[in-house]
Chains A and B, each alone.
Chain A
């Protein structure tokens, strides 16, 4: 083992070379090092699962057996009984050195299969190579049997049967959106203000449910009237909630029993025995009762997350860990000194590792769109309390320190910046960014609070509690603010808007009439005609997606049912309704706008080169686009180089961007969710810019079919922002980040050399001041040099832990496709100061 001086020397060398992953490995405890390396990575490499990752068949088999048995029960009760059977019988495990437990599969290397979600996905499961346990033939036989049973009765099969056939065909073409309109594949915000405040554990919730049932039953034997009729269904829903809450407590007790068995029979190390007994005590306490310390608080939260993921395939992890766990951290570490800060960092680091470990089977389009990860686990930290005072605490800092030690790509952190944030917290943010994590992203809290109030009418005290519901959209975790189900199928491939506007609604790639016929663009004589066509295509696209999602949401309690999520949600415990029922929800919808900036750059290019400069005719342009620019290279380069591009503080194109956004904002108010609220847009991309590369045809910004699209949100096209970081910020600052949309993703690359030392921090701080003054709601950074990224392409094994910011998430660089890697390298490295 290296002596301290040698270790220090090695660390300094690694720091100088920006090899932060080696620094982390040397700095973290032996426990964290073991647990970090123990993780079976579930995120797909490019689009494929890593060797050794296998499909879990225990959960689907247990669930299906019980589901078939209770075939006469209503859906929520039936799901509750099937889920309880899983919780009582699925294999559980405790990893050596672990102090936190819980996983969605039966073994650490397995991925969960949501077999009741969509038959189409089930077929992919069957055909996916490499993921079936040996003997493969036997595993495939089981998969086939399960597929045969679920065919036609999954949640999506049920939605598809009632969807308008034309909408269904267009949606299923894969050209205009993605996702699945069911809570089987949603992003559920949790009602943390109900179950995570320390006031109640599951036993307390069970008591509340019992009281509700008692009151309802009293009414059902009283004077008859229409008001009691819905109570019969509600009583069954409450029973369903009870079944899963009781099973959840038993599930935790199974871990407690296993920990005791190991401690008392199989473990010889006295220190580990003590840890196992503490783990047993933890699992006997939570989630039955409210937590008393940091370990219990983290474990309680983790049980909720795992059980929710056994109930449905959740694609996001809305959370605010410093706010809800911070008081326990403070009590344990600073007040009562029950544990040291290092011990607390071990717990928090493990909490992140346990989260990183979570993964389910995703269809290929999802794996390509979320390369390297299995969902967008974006945890929200910082921000303010309901009274507006600073909510940052010691755990805010500890989370960022732990993040640098474990360097996981999932979860990532999202920091709610506001003017009262203390210097020490900002320095922690900077240190994470400087060390190349790609997170935290920085959110402008006053803007986001105002945004949550503007679009959905959340009262200020609730808006101030917001968490990211997925990558970026704020949502209060409160009784009426919590959105239990947001579906990725309200994700629009927006580059199609300009494509269809230029081709009379015809999709050349799928060769069918997709959008409305808005006129032959060859005959357009001025820009306004093109813009009118663009508006109509936008309205059509958004309407189709929102119709699909609204229907899925409205029918979800009938087609799917969420007994567990309902049981941890105050308004369901109070009302007896499935939490996915819109009743009592304020509404918090948004349309994710993938491939957005191509519209501004494309429209501006046509305006400038065709209508203003009259350098080309519309006929020439449409002909060139139809030919995918082939045979028109000189003209294409003119559109790339000589048309104004977003991100250069150029009013010509920036005004086009604002016009587009404001048309969307106007229409967002016309689109209504099942609660009657608005659908603002949120430009961002994950890695959809790569997924859609072969789906979006040639565009007037000079892009060809097959070229990667821009990296998303309001980020300028890679290499097209030529006037420096301030010009980028000024362009972005022209957008009203409260009223023009839900949120706007901005990727920036900064030079690691420039950010070194105190001077680097001061430069970054000055940059952030400009960002804040301009009222921009989001920014995230990649601080990795081209040299490092290219070295990682050449020698991936040496750079296995190198992390980059892709879009709304981070990933290990070696886990993303070559095309995505190249796209990140192409982003402009901004020199600041």
Chain B
């Protein structure tokens, strides 16, 4: 089972953050959403395993 901490978008901390680059029709930005390190990332479309 893949977990958030194995993803390259995951940044650990007291609480982890999923940080993603988004480019929408008007602007580009980085967004962050708190996630648990051990959360199941199996159904996450943005999961990218750390190399």
Residues B26 and A38 in contact, CB atoms below 8 Å apart: yes
Residues B29 and A95 in contact, CB atoms below 8 Å apart: yes
Q: From DSSP, what is the main secondary structure of chain B's interface residues? A: strand
Q: Chain A residue with minimal CB distance to B33? A: A91
Residue A93 CB within 8 A of the other chain: yes
**Assembled-state Cα–Cα distance A37/B28 (Å):** 11
- B-side interface size class: 10 to 19
Residues B29 and A96 in contact, CB atoms below 8 Å apart: yes
B27-40: CB near A (< 8 Å → 1, else 0) gives: 11111111000000
Pick from B11, B17, B27: contact of A108, CB under 8 Å: B27
Collect the chain A residues with CB atoms within 8 Å of residue B27's CB: 34, 38, 95-96, 108
Collect the chain B residues with CB atoms within 8 Å of residue A258's CB: 17, 19, 30, 32
Residue A480 CB within 8 A of the other chain: no
Residues B33 and A266 in contact, CB atoms below 8 Å apart: no
Query: Smallest distance from the beta carbon of A475 to chain B beta carbons, Å?
Result: 35
Collect the chain B residues with CB atoms within 8 Å of residue A106's CB: 31
**Assembled-state Cα–Cα distance A98/B27 (Å):** 11
Residue A94 CB within 8 A of the other chain: yes
Collect the chain A residues with CB atoms within 8 Å of residue B30's CB: 93-94, 258, 261-262, 266
Of B17, B30, B34, most A-chain CB atoms within 10 Å:
B30
**Assembled-state Cα–Cα distance A106/B21 (Å):** 14
- A-side interface size class: 20 to 34
Known A93-B29, A95-B29: A261·B22 in contact at CB below 8 Å = no
Residue B43 CB within 8 A of the other chain: no
Query: Smallest distance from the beta carbon of A337 to chain B beta carbons, Å?
Result: 32
Residue B42 CB within 8 A of the other chain: no
Residue B25 CB within 8 A of the other chain: yes
Collect the chain A residues with CB atoms within 8 Å of residue B45's CB: none
Residues A261 and B19 in contact, CB atoms below 8 Å apart: yes
A194-222: CB near B (< 8 Å → 1, else 0) gives: 00000000000000000000000000000
**Assembled-state Cα–Cα distance A262/B22 (Å):** 13
Residues A96 and B26 in contact, CB atoms below 8 Å apart: no
Residue A627 CB within 8 A of the other chain: no
Collect the chain B residues with CB atoms within 8 Å of residue A320's CB: none
Residue A254 CB within 8 A of the other chain: yes
Residues A254 and B32 in contact, CB atoms below 8 Å apart: yes
Collect the chain B residues with CB atoms within 8 Å of residue A393's CB: none
Query: Smallest distance from the beta carbon of B9 to chain A beta carbons, Å?
Result: 10
Residues B29 and A37 in contact, CB atoms below 8 Å apart: no
Residues A257 and B21 in contact, CB atoms below 8 Å apart: no
Collect the chain B residues with CB atoms within 8 Å of residue A261's CB: 11, 17, 19, 30, 32
Collect the chain B residues with CB atoms within 8 Å of residue A38's CB: 26-27
**Assembled-state Cα–Cα distance A92/B29 (Å):** 10
**Assembled-state Cα–Cα distance A17/B13 (Å):** 56
Query: Smallest distance from the beta carbon of A455 to chain B beta carbons, Å?
Result: 44
Pick from A40, A98, A257: contact of B17, CB under 8 Å: A257
**Residues of chain A from 409 to 459 with CB closer than 8 A to chain B in the complex:** none
Query: Smallest distance from the beta carbon of A641 to chain B beta carbons, Å?
Result: 50
**Assembled-state Cα–Cα distance A730/B25 (Å):** 51
Collect the chain A residues with CB atoms within 8 Å of residue B17's CB: 257-258, 261
Collect the chain A residues with CB atoms within 8 Å of residue B33's CB: 89, 91
Residues A92 and B26 in contact, CB atoms below 8 Å apart: no
Residues B31 and A257 in contact, CB atoms below 8 Å apart: no
Can you pick out 15 interface pairs between chain A and chain B where the beta carbons lie within 8 Å of each other?
A38-B27, A39-B26, A52-B25, A89-B33, A92-B31, A93-B22, A93-B32, A95-B28, A95-B29, A106-B31, A254-B34, A261-B11, A261-B19, A261-B32, A266-B30
19 further interface pairs, Cβ-Cβ under 8 Å (given A89-B33, A93-B31): A38-B26, A39-B26, A92-B31, A93-B30, A93-B32, A95-B27, A96-B27, A96-B29, A106-B31, A107-B24, A109-B24, A109-B26, A254-B32, A254-B34, A257-B13, A261-B30, A261-B32, A262-B30, A266-B19
